[in-house]
């Protein structure tokens, strides 16, 4: 009786790692849906980063390279992987950590403690540059002045210049950032929606160089999925900070992220497909437009769109139900307008056959900012222009209230 019962029970099949075929598979890889053991996953992740570095010749022997370190998962994984690969393959590169203190109490002060621990763990030099030191304003003070709407514009512009100035302070001309495939896919989608060709070209380039800055940026994690970065940090037991920025509204980027995550659930390769598509589109952008001031001068590492934020975590609020309601509303509106609107000949059809004069692209002429001396294409750099608006409402001298003796 007992033998018949035991034989009817389903037997559990132990899945083996698709790579080594020996160890038990513990991880379903998000990018390819391969089932891998812990050791193989860590090895494959590191090898892909190494391939990206060697294929694009990111580093040269003897270089000093700054790692933009925020204490979050991306920059912590980047520092860990670069240290491992540098030792394994003898790149001959000296890596240092460069952190920006935006002055956000309860967020950046805590994350900087993580960076300080990372500096000890990875035996790397650490340099911290603060907004208060460079601009006389912390982000807490900026938000108190202007409110939370548009604060990411200030932070993005300030951060980009602060990273460059920190690198110059260290005597370094190359900064690597922890932007991953998800970040780039989101930015590609945002730039396509905005029709921002120069920024589309810059965001897909693994190395970003600008005539407005002597510092080159690169993204070694360009093809690494965010989920795999989290898995790597977890299985390597890395020390990183997880709290999101308290001021980031994530409006536009959050919507792009929500869409991409929905696509990823249906098609795991969607993120990489969008990145590759962005590269293909960027290759079609004329050289004159790549160099022009068309659109915003900020790139992925210093976004200035109102909802771009710093590109860290968080999700959009758009759901399938909201989209369905919107579609129904648009259909109803379209039906109403169809009855009321008369069909008129569009201006483009009226001018059909006439030779159109192509728009001229204005070339940027670089000069030094009249206030801070930083490179800019106008009289004032973006940081000084924003600071000018902030300083208008700040008293020249602090207001002191005398208390009479009783």
- Please provide the size of the chain in residues: 406
For 16, which DSSP code? Answer: B
Both tokens of 168, joined, read 């110059």
How many C-alpha atoms does 367 have within 13 Å on its Cβ side?
9
Using a 10 angstrom Cβ sphere, with 0-12 exposed, 13-18 middle and 19 or more buried, the burial of residue 36 is buried
Q: Which residues contact 164 (CB under 8 A, 6 or more apart)?
A: 175, 213, 214, 215, 374
The neighbour count for residue 365, using CB atoms within 10 Å, is 9
- What are the φ and ψ backbone dihedral angles of 209, each rounded to 5 degrees? -125, 140
- DSSP assignment of 66-107, as one string? EEE--SSHHHHHHHHHHHHHHHHHT---EEEEEEEE---TTT
- Give the residue ranges of the annotated binding site for ATP: 68-70, 74, 100, 178, 183
- Give the residue ranges of the annotated binding site: 68-70, 74, 100, 178, 183
């Amino acid at each position: 009786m007992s033998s018949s019962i035991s034989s009817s029970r389903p037997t559990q099949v132990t899945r083996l790692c698709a790579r080594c075929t020996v160890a038990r598979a513990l991880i379903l890889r998000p990018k390819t849906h391969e089932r891998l053991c812990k050791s193989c996953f860590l090895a494959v992740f590191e090898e892909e980063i190494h391939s990206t570095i060697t294929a694009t010749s990111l580093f040269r022997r003897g270089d000093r390279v700054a790692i933009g370190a925020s204490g979050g998962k991306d920059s912590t994984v980047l520092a860990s992987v670069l240290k491992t690969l540098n030792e394994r393959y003898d790149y001959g590169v000296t890596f240092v950590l460069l952190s920006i203190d935006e002055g956000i109490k309860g967020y950046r002060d805590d994350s900087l403690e993580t960076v300080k621990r990372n500096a000890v763990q990875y035996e790397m030099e650490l340099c911290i540059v603060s907004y208060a030191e460079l601009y006389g304003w912390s982000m807490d003070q900026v938000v108190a002045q202007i409110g939370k709407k548009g604060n990411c514009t200030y932070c993005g512009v300030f951060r980009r210049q602060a990273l460059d100035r920190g690198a110059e302070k260290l005597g370094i001309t190359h900064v690597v950032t922890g932007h991953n495939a998800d970040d780039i896919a989101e930015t590609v989608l945002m730039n396509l929606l905005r029709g921002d060709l120069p920024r589309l070209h810059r965001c897909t380039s693994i190395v970003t160089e600008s005539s407005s800055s002597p510092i080159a940026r690169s993204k070694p994690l360009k093809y690494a999925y965010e989920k795999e970065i989290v898995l790597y940090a977890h299985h390597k037991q890395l020390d990183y900070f997880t709290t999101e920025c308290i001021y980031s509204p994530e409006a536009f980027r959050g919507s792009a992220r929500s869409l991409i995550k929905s696509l990823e659930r249906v098609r795991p390769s969607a993120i990489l497909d969008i990145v590759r598509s962005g590269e293909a589109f960027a290759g079609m952008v004329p050289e004159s437009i790549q160099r022009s001031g068309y659109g915003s001068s900020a790139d992925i590492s210093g976004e200035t769109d109102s909802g771009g934020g710093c590109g860290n975590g968080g999700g959009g609020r758009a759901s399938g139900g909201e989209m369905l309601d919107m579609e129904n509303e648009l259909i109803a509106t379209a039906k109403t307008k169809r009855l009321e609107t008369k069909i008129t000949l569009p201006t483009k059809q009226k001018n059909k056959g006439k030779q159109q004069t192509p728009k001229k692209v204005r070339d940027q002429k670089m000069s030094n900012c009249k206030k801070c001396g930083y490179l800019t294409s106008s009289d004032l750099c973006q940081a000084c222009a924003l600071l000018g608006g902030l300083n208008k409402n700040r008293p020249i001298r602090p207001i002191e209230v005398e208390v009479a003796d009783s």
